[in-house]
Structure 1
Amino acid sequence: MSRGPVRVLRLGLRPYAEALRVQERCLRAARAARTGPGGPGVPGVAGVPVPGESVVLSEPAEPVYVWGLRGAPEAEVAARLRARGAGLAAARRGGRITFHGPGQLLAFPVLDLRRRRLPLRGYVAALEALVLRLCRRLGLAAARALPPPFTGVWMGDSKLCAIGVHCGNHITSHGLALNCCTDLTWFDHIVPCGLEGKGVTSLSRELGRHVTVDHVLQPFLDSFQEVFDCTLVFSEDPGD
């Protein structure tokens, strides 16, 4: 039995900061859906309700290093990263510094875990299961999730997909970053996610062919729908 509709916002190639702004609008919609008298949706275009839950999909248009709640890089490190032509940004999510850039799929699910009766650790496991299903669809059977405290999806000792989430009042934000055809040399200048001795990989490297973000969107959405037991409603206008 489906747990209701989830709105999909496909932003395409956009600056990281813009994806965050769209996520904030989705968060406001999710809060309004919970507290308002109108049931599972909030007013949209011409007063038609839109789902209170969303997933924002984007590909970062420019390279940016992003850190979570565990702290910003030291000033010297930040200056060195900026000198390489990358932006710097803070995010309200778990995890340490990582890289986002072209060739990477960012997915920010905005879901109500209380309504879904899903604990936070179970939600993180569901994101991992989603990416593992995607990998199976693409023929990458060796992908795996590691036991806590590790998160994400791995190929051996190299991380394929990073997960960093925030949950406030049981509503999720941020999410995952899947390396499709990312230039992995950007990761050489940091310790990704603070994990010493671990590497980073991509779908293109593991499959031996060029895999773009566009290539993985549909299998990602199919896997999302299965894991979160929902129907998807598509919206191309992030201002809805």
Structure 2
Amino acid sequence: MSSSSSLPLPPSASAAPVAAPNRVVVVKNLGLAAYEETWAYQEELLAATLAIKVRNRPAAEEGRAPEPTPNYLLLCQHPHVYTLGKSGKPEHLLLDEEGLARHGATFHRINRGGDITYHGPGQLVGYPILDLDNFFTDIHRYLRLLEEAVIHTLADYGLAAGRIAGLTGVWLDFEEGAANPRKICALGVKCSRWVTMHGFAFNINADLSYFGHIVPCGITDKAVTSLQQELGRAVPLAEVEQYLLGHLAALFEADFITA
């Protein structure tokens, strides 16, 4: 006679079906894209993912498998624009409306964390729309892994980069007591029910003079730099993207697939 452990469980005792974490990240390169349009696209993808999570809430009670949630990474450049996060100070923008127009720039208050920053041509901007339930539910780890991917990418170009205690982003001459700490990548994110939006801005061939019109990230005593300035030559953004995507895939243990 078969042991009781081999008998099927009654329906009421059956384990509820569980969706396997989706570790695929769809990469969409938007090219040079207006900030407002990209922000709206992020919100659209975020809302669609949150809607799936809402539908999944009663899945166990209804005896059905939850739907897998998607993950995206939007890559782009922006026309000249300044954005101010929720905790930022408007006075950190040093241009009035006339000055913005004169420099061909726009200004937006947005719903990410952090202070003011600049986006423009020659800067690689990344907006991960990830459901961290697919990876890990730790926003600090998420930020540190984004930074780590940039740090590894800079190492591919022979540059030693790291973090400065109490500040987000990636820095050169980051060691305590270094004479000239320089920020090369800024981060600012939002997370709703473990789904992320906003992201990072990595200065590759950016016109750094535009940072002179703000107090970048509210920091008054440190400089901003770019990969071009550090290497003394322009660097193809597509090349940087490939290095960066490889490091993100390894750190997040994910498959990054270009749409």
The normalised TM-score by structure 1 is 0.85
Query: What's the % identity of the aligned pairs?
Result: 38
Partners of 2:238 and 2:136 in 1: how far apart?
32
Question: What residue identity is the alignment partner of 1:63?
Answer: H
Q: Please report how far the alpha carbon of residue 78 of structure 1 lies from its aligned counterpart in structure 2 after TM superposition.
A: 3.5
| Bigger Rg over Cα | 2
Match in the other structure for 1:221: 245
Deviation at 1:138, TM superposition (A): 2.5
Relative to structure 1, is the Cα distance of residues 20 and 139 closer, same or farther in structure 2, using a 3 angstrom cutoff? Answer: same
Asked if structure 2 preserves the Cα contact closer than 8 Å seen for 1:78 and 1:88, the reply is no
Are 1:81 and 1:189, in contact at CA under 8 Å, matched by a contact in 2?
A: no
For structure 1, the 5+ residue unaligned runs are 42-51, 236-240
Q: Which letter maps to 2:140?
A: R
User: C-alpha separation between the residues in 2 aligned to 1:78 and 1:167?
Assistant: 31
Structure (1 or 2) with the greater strand fraction: 1
* C-alpha contact (below 8 Å) 1:9/1:234 kept by paired residues: yes
TM-superposition CA deviations, 1:141-196 (whole Å, max 9, x none): x111222x201000121100000111111111101000000000000111100001
Q: Which has the higher contact order (CA 8 A, sep 6+)?
A: 1
Is 1:195 aligned to residue 219 of structure 2? yes
Aligned residues: 221
Question: Do the aligned residues in 1 keep the contact of 2:95 with 2:213 (CA within 8 Å)?
Answer: no
RMSD: 1.9
Secondary structure, counterpart of 1:58 in structure 2: strand
Q: Counterpart in 1 of 2:90?
A: 73
Contact 2:22–2:68 (Cα < 8 Å) also in 1: no
Instruction: Quote how far apart the aligned CAs of 1:72 are.
Output: 5.2
Give the partner amino acid of 2:68. Answer: P
Moved more, 161-170 or 116-125: 116-125
The answer to whether residue 153 in structure 2 is matched with residue 127 in structure 1 is no
Within the alignment, does 1:155 sit opposite 2:161 as a pair?
no
Do the aligned partners of 1:104 and 1:180 also contact (CA within 8 Å) in 2? yes
Counterparts of 1:15 and 1:216, CA distance in 2:
21
CA contact (8 A) 1:98 1:193 kept: yes
CA contact (8 A) 1:26 1:53 kept: no
